[in-house]
Amino acid sequence: MGDVFRSKDWERSSLGTLETWSAPLRFAVIQCLNSQFPIAVYWGADLNTLYNDGFAGLMGGDNDKALALPCKEAWPEVWNNLKSNFDEVFRTGKIIRNKNTVFSINRHGSLEECHFDYTLAPIHDLDGKVVGILNEVNETSGRDLQDTPLQQRDEKEIFELRRERDSLKAILTASNQQQRVVNETLNDLNQELKVSQDELSLAIDAANLATWDLNPVTGRFKGNDLLKSWFGLPINQDIEPSLATEMVAEYDRERVVQTIQRAMDHTSGGRYDLDYTIINPINPEPRIVRAKGKMFFDDNNQPIRFSGVLQDVTEMKQDEQRKNDFIAMVSHELKTPITSINAYLQILHRMAKKNEDSLLENILQKSIKQIVRMTSIVHGFLNVSRLESGKIQINLERFDLSKLMQDVTEEFMASTSTHELRFTPCETIWVYADQDKIGQVINNLISNAIKYSPQGSMIQVSCSTMDQKVEFSVKDEGVGISDADLPKLFERYYRVNTLQSSNISGFGIGLYLCCEIIKSHQGKLWAESELAKGSTFYFTLAAVD
Ligand code: ADP
Please spell the DSSP secondary structure of 24-58, one letter per residue: HHHHHHHHHHH-SS-EEEEETTTTEEEE-HHHHHH
- Residue 508 CA, closest ligand 1 atom number: 8
> What DSSP string describes 406-436?
HHHHHHHHHH--SSEEEE------EEEE-HH
474 Cβ below 6 A of ligand 1: no
| Averaged pLDDT, 412-423 | 92
Probe target for ligand 1 pocket from 489, 492, 537, with the most ligand atoms within 8 Å of CB = 489
- pLDDT computed for residue 144 by the predictor: 52
Q: Report residue 462's pLDDT band, with 50, 70 and 90 as the boundaries.
A: very high
**Which pLDDT does position 145 carry in this prediction?**
47
Q: Comparing 158-162, 239-243, 370-374, which segment has the lowest mean pLDDT?
A: 158-162
Tell me the mean pLDDT in the region 203-211: 92
Ligand 1 site-directed mutation target among 459, 475, 511, 538, most atoms within 8 Å of CB:
511
State if residue 495 touches ligand 1 by the CB under 6 angstroms criterion: yes
Q: Which residues contact 133 (CB under 8 A, 6 or more apart)?
A: 41, 42, 47, 86, 89, 90, 120, 121, 122, 123
Q: In Å, how far are 178, 246, 382, 465, 534 from 461, measured between CA atoms?
A: 72, 52, 28, 14, 14
Q: Which residue would you say has higher pLDDT here, 500 or 172?
A: 172
Q: Look up the pTM and report it.
A: 0.54
CA distances from residue 7 to 11, 51, 214 in whole angstroms, order as listed: 11, 15, 104
- Asked if pLDDT for residue 382 goes beyond 90, the answer is no
CA 519 and chain centroid, separation: 40
Mean pLDDT of the chain: 88
Alpha carbon of 441 to ligand 1 centroid (Å): 13
User: What pLDDT does residue 78 have?
Assistant: 87
Best residue among 327, 387, 419, 448 to mutate for probing ligand 1's pocket (most ligand atoms within 8 Å of CB) is 448
Sheet hosting strand 524-530, strand order edge to edge: 420-423, 458-466, 469-475, 534-542, 524-530
Q: Is the CB of 352 under 6 A from ligand 1?
A: no
User: What is the pairing mode between strands 458-466 and 469-475?
Assistant: antiparallel
Which ligand 1 atom sits nearest the alpha carbon of residue 444? 7
Provide the pLDDT for residue 166.
74
State the pLDDT confidence band at 475, using cuts at 50, 70 and 90: very high
Q: What are the pLDDT digits (tens) for 340-378?
A: 999 999 999 999 999 999 999 999 999 999 999 899 889
Positive or negative, the Cα torsion across 504, 505, 509, 514?
A: negative
Nearest-CA neighbor of 494 among 527, 519, 457?
527
Query: How far, in Å, CA of 433 to CA of 521, rounded?
Result: 7
- With a pLDDT cut of 90, the percent of the chain lying above it is 49
Q: Are strands 209-214 and 303-312 parallel, antiparallel or unpaired?
A: antiparallel
| CB distance 57 to ligand 1 below 6 Å | no
509 CA: nearest ligand 1 atom? 6
Cβ of 476 below 6 Å from ligand 1: yes
- pLDDT of amino acid 24: 85
Q: In this model, does residue 148 exceed pLDDT 70? A: no
pLDDT at 265: 85
Q: pLDDT tens, 246-271?
A: 899 999 999 999 998 888 888 888 89
Give the mutation target among 495, 500, 503, 533 for probing the ligand 1 site: most ligand atoms within 8 A of CB.
495
| Model confidence at 65: pLDDT above 80 | no
Q: What's the pLDDT band for 314 if we cut at 50, 70, 90?
A: very high
Whether residue 534 has its Cβ less than 6 Å from ligand 1 = no
Average pLDDT, integer, range 159-170: 74
The ligand 1 atom at the shortest distance from the C-alpha of residue 449 is 23
Ligand 1 pocket residue status of 452, Cβ below 6 Å: yes
Which of 117-121, 222-226, 321-325, 455-459 tops mean pLDDT? 455-459
What's the pLDDT tens digit per position in 487-511? 999 998 899 987 777 778 888 889 9
Least confident of 22-31, 130-139, 192-201, 519-528: 22-31
Confidence of residue 152 (pLDDT cuts 50, 70, 90): low
What's the mean pLDDT in 213-239? Answer: 86
CA nearest to 334, candidates 387, 385, 389, 375: 375
Could you report how far apart the first and last alpha carbons of the chain are, in Å? 130
- pLDDT more than 70, % of the chain: 97
- The C-alpha torsion from 356 through 357 and 358 to 359, rounded to 10°, is 180
What is the pLDDT at residue 445? Answer: 96
- Identify the burial level of 444 via C-beta atoms within 10 angstroms of its C-beta, where 0-12 means exposed, 13-18 middle and 19 or more buried: buried
**Mean per-residue pLDDT, 285-313:** 91
